[in-house]
Structure 1
């Protein structure tokens, strides 16, 4: 797997904020926007670069506010993201595009589907985070994650202090700390992929990039995920294809089952023996091919 250096760009939005983004795949290809995970950045989409090139896709990956190259937006909500994505694509001269949401980018992709039905063609979710503001979904998360979510809900000031202290700088300077935690919590399929130096290096770069100016984006996302998202996922009445591995220890496959039950038009593909990282790395080509060939 070869992941090129990102061709970073910045766009000044109408409200004066900077929106950072990069592109992978084919410059004049079929436009697909990528909603990155948590905590991560636009560089995460580089894992799909080769697959995007093969499928003739122009993969456009912006940073959410407070991540990477994008200005922070204090007080932002999940349902604010569609306006940023709409402005970016309009400025790029793109009238209609397809959409991918990965992990913690899943809620943001759904918000875009709800708010921009005329602009978005097809949507694929990859191991998407479910509505963890609902207790049954939240209980499927690992104990340590549930504890973090509980702190974020009940003691937001403590969480803010953690993410505004020296921790973000440490993570940016020592991404191997996150890499060790990632590996320790990973299932066997994920460990097999994480043993590949180019994959771990790419994931490490996303952490460094996400924390380059602090952890404003991560702090805000941790505040938003366990609270109502500002829209009802089960009312997003659009055709969605969902991919999830049944050995995912990061976002349990129970989240995919929730979406399959509650989204009006969801085609779920549960892959046996795949995890959170192995799924996009091993099946990226099939995922992108399915996205652009599925019927509207």
Structure 2
């Protein structure tokens, strides 16, 4: 089951867009995309999720993809949208997973929705970016973006217009330049833009900028604001997955958050960079299965069968 363009209307009248994939009757996993990104970033997990009996629901944040914008907004405000989505789809205690820039939204949802969420999974998550030393260890591209968002917010939209042009008009050049600032482990996993995957890459990139750069710029600024919650208050299982070589979202922030969370579980990956979901999707999804008490997939048979522990 892969439905890329789902949406419904919130009580406020705003539209909330999402993608659904995997097992239609599977255990629910809410997925939050990175920055910049959209719901389409998760469509490649369709088969892996389906084989494990998981149903993934990837949600566009306000002003991105199919979701209508809202101003002003905060990290925890998104939890209200997610609560309505859970009611609409009748999701009972889902796991919430966020990748990169989606990580802070996982933690914000846990702070707002409390016992309605089973557990949180933060994959190469971005930490708080509200101080000048927040970007320590980060690559120059990301560090510059957040510096501008924090000190010169009016410039961010201009930066994102250039990013949009590169991602939608000069896609080969964009990924070649991206590769130069990534560690070797990430460069090997980026692969090449081929005729077979070019349209999927382009459609995903265009979806990010469907509504232009204005609301993406607002989100960049939002990341630089102090969080409205304390990690010590999040008394839920939270799994942190992070690569030691990550320069997009340095591991030091993830380690600090992990130490502060009372029920955290760490998965620190030696020799890995930012693209750990590409390589470790099986392990991450298996870990999510265990949160539902489902056991692990029998990879020898390569079917959706679960061995009991």
> Does 2:174 correspond to 1:178?
yes
C-alpha distance in 1 between matches for 2:135 and 2:7? 36
What do residues 196-227 of structure 1 show as CA deviations (whole Å, max 9, x unaligned)? 54788755543221112202332122101111
Cα RMSD for the two superposed structures: 2.3
TM-score normalised by the chain length of structure 2? 0.86
Change (3 A) 1:199 1:182: farther
Aligned equivalent of 1:223: 221
2:118 to 104, 118, 121: 121
1:195 to 191, 194, 198: 191
Aligned equivalent of 1:260: 258
What do residues 43-71 of structure 1 show as CA deviations (whole Å, max 9, x unaligned)? 11123222211211000001001111111
Query: Contact 2:130–2:150 at 8 Å: present in 1 too?
Result: no
TM-score normalised by the chain length of structure 1? 0.89
C-alpha distance in 2 between matches for 1:32 and 1:284? 14
Following TM superposition, by how much is the alpha carbon of 1:109 offset from its aligned partner in structure 2, in angstroms?
A: 0.6
Following TM superposition, by how much is the alpha carbon of 1:264 offset from its aligned partner in structure 2, in angstroms?
A: 1.9
Query: Contact 1:171–1:211 at 8 Å: present in 2 too?
Result: no
**Superposed counterparts of 1:111-150, under 5 Å:** 111-150=108-147
What do residues 2-50 of structure 1 show as CA deviations (whole Å, max 9, x unaligned)? xx97531121111111111111111111001001100000011123222
Query: Contact 1:48–1:280 at 8 Å: present in 2 too?
Result: no
Following TM superposition, by how much is the alpha carbon of 1:237 offset from its aligned partner in structure 2, in angstroms?
A: 2.2
Change (3 A) 1:54 1:67: same
Moved more, 265-274 or 196-205: 196-205
> Does 2:144 correspond to 1:151?
no
Following TM superposition, by how much is the alpha carbon of 1:91 offset from its aligned partner in structure 2, in angstroms?
A: 0.6
Aligned equivalent of 2:303: none
Moved more, 112-121 or 138-147: 138-147
Following TM superposition, by how much is the alpha carbon of 1:236 offset from its aligned partner in structure 2, in angstroms?
A: 1.9
Runs of 4+ aligned structure 1 residues displaced above 4 Å come to 196-204
Q: Structure 1: which 5+ runs fail to align?
A: none
SS in structure 1 of the partner of residue 156 of structure 2? helix
SS in structure 2 of the partner of residue 14 of structure 1? coil
SS in structure 2 of the partner of residue 76 of structure 1? coil
Larger Cα Rg: Structure 1 or Structure 2?
2
Following TM superposition, by how much is the alpha carbon of 1:112 offset from its aligned partner in structure 2, in angstroms?
A: 0.4
Following TM superposition, by how much is the alpha carbon of 1:161 offset from its aligned partner in structure 2, in angstroms?
A: 4.7
What do residues 120-175 of structure 1 show as CA deviations (whole Å, max 9, x unaligned)? 00211100101121444332322342222221111112224544x57645643444
**Superposed counterparts of 1:36-75, under 5 Å:** 36-75=33-72
Moved more, 34-43 or 137-146: 137-146
Query: Contact 1:44–1:203 at 8 Å: present in 2 too?
Result: no
Query: Contact 1:169–1:211 at 8 Å: present in 2 too?
Result: no
Query: Contact 1:64–1:217 at 8 Å: present in 2 too?
Result: no
Query: Contact 2:2–2:20 at 8 Å: present in 1 too?
Result: no
SS in structure 1 of the partner of residue 97 of structure 2? strand
Q: Structure 2: which 5+ runs fail to align?
A: 294-309
Q: How many residues align?
A: 291
Change (3 A) 1:176 1:73: farther
SS in structure 1 of the partner of residue 241 of structure 2? strand
Query: Contact 2:2–2:21 at 8 Å: present in 1 too?
Result: no
Higher relative contact order (CA 8 A, sep 6+): 1
C-alpha distance in 1 between matches for 2:203 and 2:187? 18
SS in structure 2 of the partner of residue 70 of structure 1? coil
C-alpha distance in 2 between matches for 1:85 and 1:145? 28
